[in-house]
Amino acid sequence: MAAAAAATPGQSGPVPFKDIDDGSVSKHTPKEEFGDLVSALPRRQQSILQLRLYQGFWLPAHWVPGTVVFQRRFAPRPDDVVLASYPKCGTTWLKALAFAAAARGAYPPASAEHPLRRLNPHDCIPFIDEIFAAGEETKLDMLPSPRLMNTHLPYTLLPEPVTAGGCKVVYICRDPKDMVVSLWHFLRRAQPDLSFADTFESVCDGTVMVGPVWDHVLSYWRASVTHQDRVLFLKYEDMLRDTGANVRRLAKFMGQPFSAAEEGAGAVASIVELCSFDKMKGLEVNKAGTAGAYCAMPRDAFFRKGVAGDWANHMTPAMATRLDEIVREKFRGTGLTFT
């Protein structure tokens, strides 16, 4: 593998990952190294994904060797921020908001030249799980600090140096009913005949990608309760209700609170506007092309409806009650609710 270029001296992050990725790091798969480990794990098929049960979670099989490498070899920098989420719970939005807030010094959000007007949020912030799956982790060394990265792994699978306090973590969760609907629409772009009932069942029985969902959410919820200074827990629905307040929380948590001057100049409103669903969905860069290394998905699949409560258009009241009750039972006594 070619050695990755170091970050340019003096340059500060975050900078768009795509601008830094100069193609000097070639892919290699860590599959050979950990192939025996993967083949010994329980497996199942969910839609287009082959899953393996690894440390209590159904990971896409091709992620497992990379996850082992991530767990064993990742060295966080103290000013890193890891953005974590269950898939289809607001990852793309969180990536856009975090990038816009953290990089606002170099890239004023109202500027016509802002990277988010020419790049999809997934091109601005590297996706740890796919980077390690492809053996491309030296690319992360190329990023100047502070780095923003994202993962769909649960908190309990993060490397020990991260959970021991080596960097900060921001998690976004969403009402699982809306997550199921979003997941189904997304997977259908790759498998048009996928049944909603099957997707719903795999969520309810916990055998869905990176599931069980409740264990995923609880892993971060518990960490956020115990380590409030380094794990921030956000809800998609709260973000929709008051995006500005949550952008302020996010910026403060990342160590970059908005100054009075920035507030006066409308910086928060500019970030909210730049990252708003309608604005992002309407950008040419988010309408065409694909994102995702393993299974390239059309970029427009990441911007569907962007609302809370769409579940009511897809599931029966009995299905909604069933999923609500499963989740309520799992969350009992934790202080976490979705209502």
Residues in contact with ligand PPS by CB under 6 A are 85, 87-93, 178, 182, 185, 275-277, 280, 302-306, 310
Convert 118-152 to b/e letters by CB count within 10 Å (16 or more is b): bbbbbbbbbbbbbbbbbbbbbbbebbbebbbbbbb
Sign for the pseudo-dihedral over CA of 145, 148, 153, 156: positive
* Residue 25 Cβ vs ligand PPS, minimum distance, rounded to whole Å: 23
Sign of CA dihedral 244, 245, 250, 254: positive
Catalytic amino acids? 152
- Output the smallest distance, CB 326 to ligand PPS, in A: 20
- Identify which of residues 16 and 90 has a Cβ nearer to ligand PPS in the complex: 90
Sheet holding 81-85, edge to edge: 148-151, 81-85, 168-173, 231-235
Q: How many CB atoms lie within 10 A of CB 13?
A: 21
> Which residue, 162 or 180, is less far from ligand PPS as judged by CB?
180
In the complex, least distance from residue 88 CB atom to ligand PPS, rounded to whole angstroms? 4
- Rounded to a whole number of angstroms, the minimum distance from the CB of residue 24 to ligand PPS is 26
Distance linking the first and last C-alpha atoms of the chain: 49
Q: Which is nearer to ligand PPS, 143 or 275 (CB)?
A: 275
Q: Shortest distance, CB of residue 179 to ligand PPS, whole angstroms?
A: 8
Tell me the CA distances in angstroms from 128 to 77, 83, 118, 331, one per residue in order. Answer: 14, 10, 22, 28
CB nearer to ligand PPS: give 257 or 282: 282
Count Cβ atoms within 10 A of the Cβ of residue 307 and give its class: 0-12 exposed, 13-18 middle, 19 or more buried: exposed
Q: Please count the helices (runs of H) and the strands (runs of E) in the chain.
A: 18, 9
Q: In this complex, which beta carbon is closest to ligand PPS, that of residue 91 or of residue 224?
A: 91
